[in-house]
Amino acid sequence: MISRQGISLLILGAIHLTFLLVLTLHDPTSLGIQFATLASLVLLFIGYGRIPRSHSRLSAKDFIVLSIVIELSGILTYYVSIDLHLGPVIASAGIGFIASYLPKLAKFPFLSSLPAPIYCGTFVGMCCSTLLVKDYFFVAYSGIIAGLIYVSTRNVLNGIGGKLGTIAFGGVVIVAFIFGQL
Amino acid sequence: MTELILIFTGGIGALLTYVVAHDLKQGVVSASAGLSLLVGLFFYAFPNLISPRLTIDIPLVFIGASFVGMTSSTLVKNRLLILLGGLIFSGIYLISGEVFIGYGGKLGTTACISSVIIFGLGSLFKQVIPRK
């Protein structure tokens, strides 16, 4: 029987696998890319198996709160990036930087837990309007799915750089698939 | 030359974030976002300093590589591995080209794959702390 953490790891692994598969299929004639993908897959499986896992549990309430936080930060990032013409890097980094100081405002446990989901939401909002996103609803839906993935994968790949981006990517790709934009 | 600059940017972005987050104890989100904000603002203020491609790509590569530098110091202690992770990130970024362009989280996914790869490499060479 697959454990809860096994399922969580499968979700993130599936996102990575999808990314690498599409990357390989994009240029199937390149031996370099195929070799790099194969080497990456071997090292990914070694890494997945050895990264420590935690046992924290999150409730349905956590999912709702985190989804709203991720969704709102995604929408705000999208607004700053597209409507204020500041670009995705300044929007994401600026909002993430401000969020990183929230725990210093007051010693509430809730505030201390906010920087990571807010930073995750900013990655959802980094979508480029000219290529993919037609409106704010796309970002909002992606934020909800990313919130679900965030809660589901709480116990795995902790401390690995880029996990938040993988969660955001998962949300965006699933919503793009539903909207037929893949 | 452009590719070399971007690969170098990736290495520096990851290493600098790791040092600011762990050695200077600024926290991972603050280090990644703060440094990326500085780089982003610099190229926003001086858009004609270098070629248009580098002006767009350097901030993107830097923020993406900074995610690799967010890796916990309890998982990867060796700074050379972090540097390598940044270089791997840049390599995948350059290979990926048009794939998933415009998709939020693409940089983070690339960074996560790079981070797991360096963790896997570190495990192989016994350079990481073993699982408790």
Residues 85-104, chain A, touching B (beta carbon < 8 A)? 86-90, 92-97, 99-101
Q: Which of A97, A167, A169 sits opposite B37 (nearest CB)?
A: A97
B77 three-class SS: coil
| Nearest-neighbour CA in chain A from B130: distance (Å) | 8
- State the DSSP H helix or E strand holding residue A137, giving kind and residue range, or none if neither: helix A136-152
In single-letter form, the type of residue at position B17 comes to T
Chain B interface includes A123 (CB < 8 A)? yes
- Could you tell me the pTM of the whole model? 0.89
What pLDDT sits at residue A132? 55
Question: Which of B33, B100, B121 faces A100 most closely, judged by CB atoms?
Answer: B33
User: Rounded to whole angstroms, how far apart are CA atoms A123 and B79?
Assistant: 26
Question: What is the per-residue pLDDT across B74-102, written as a single tens digit (0 to 9) for each?
Answer: 888 889 999 999 999 999 999 887 888 88
d(CA A22, CA A26): 6
Q: Residue B127: is its pLDDT beyond 80? A: no
Report d(CA B60, CA B9) in Å as an integer.
10
pLDDT of the residue at A35: 78
User: Which pair of tokens denotes residue A153?
Assistant: 């994968």
Spatial separation of the C-alpha atoms in residues B39 and B34, rounded to whole Å:
9
Rounded Cα distance, A156 and A158, in Å:
5
- What pLDDT score does A114 carry? 87
**Amino acid B2: pLDDT:** 86
Q: Do A89 and B40 touch (CB under 8 A)?
A: yes
**Rounded CA separation B29/B55 (Å):** 24
How far apart are the C-alpha atoms of B73 and B82, rounded to whole Å? 10
Could you give the C-alpha distances from B120 to A50, A70, B125, in angstroms and in order? 8, 30, 9
Q: From the candidates A5, A17, A18, A19, which should be mutated to test the interface with B, based on the most B CB atoms within 10 A?
A: A19
Tokens of B70: 């967010």
The ipTM estimated for the assembled molecules is 0.89
Q: Is A105 exposed, middle or buried (0-12, 13-18, 19+ CB in 10 A)?
A: exposed
A21: closest CA among A5, A3, A44? A44
Q: How big is chain B, counted in residues?
A: 132
Q: Please tell me the distance from the alpha carbon of residue A16 to that of residue A155, in angstroms, as a whole number.
A: 17
* List of chain B residues whose C-beta atoms are within 8 Å of the C-beta of residue A20: 113
Structure tokens at B19: 């040092």
pLDDT of residue A34: 78
pLDDT of the residue at A1: 45
Sign of torsion, CA A68 A69 A71 A76?
positive
Instruction: Say how far apart CA B74 and CA B46 lie, in whole Å.
Output: 38
Q: How far apart are CA A69 and CA A144, in angstroms?
A: 9
- Which residues 5-34 in chain B show a CB within 8 A of chain A? 14, 27-30, 32-34
Would you state the structure tokens that stand for residue A147, as one six-digit string?
């919130």
- A126 to chain B: nearest residue by CA? B104
Name the phi and psi angles at A157, rounded to 5: 55, 25
Q: Specify the pLDDT at position A120.
A: 93
pLDDT bin (cut points 50, 70, 90) of residue B39 is: very high
Q: Which residues of chain A have pLDDT under 50?
A: 1
> Cβ–Cβ of A164/B67 closer than 8 Å?
yes
Evaluate whether B116 touches A44 at the Cβ level (below 8 Å).
Answer: yes
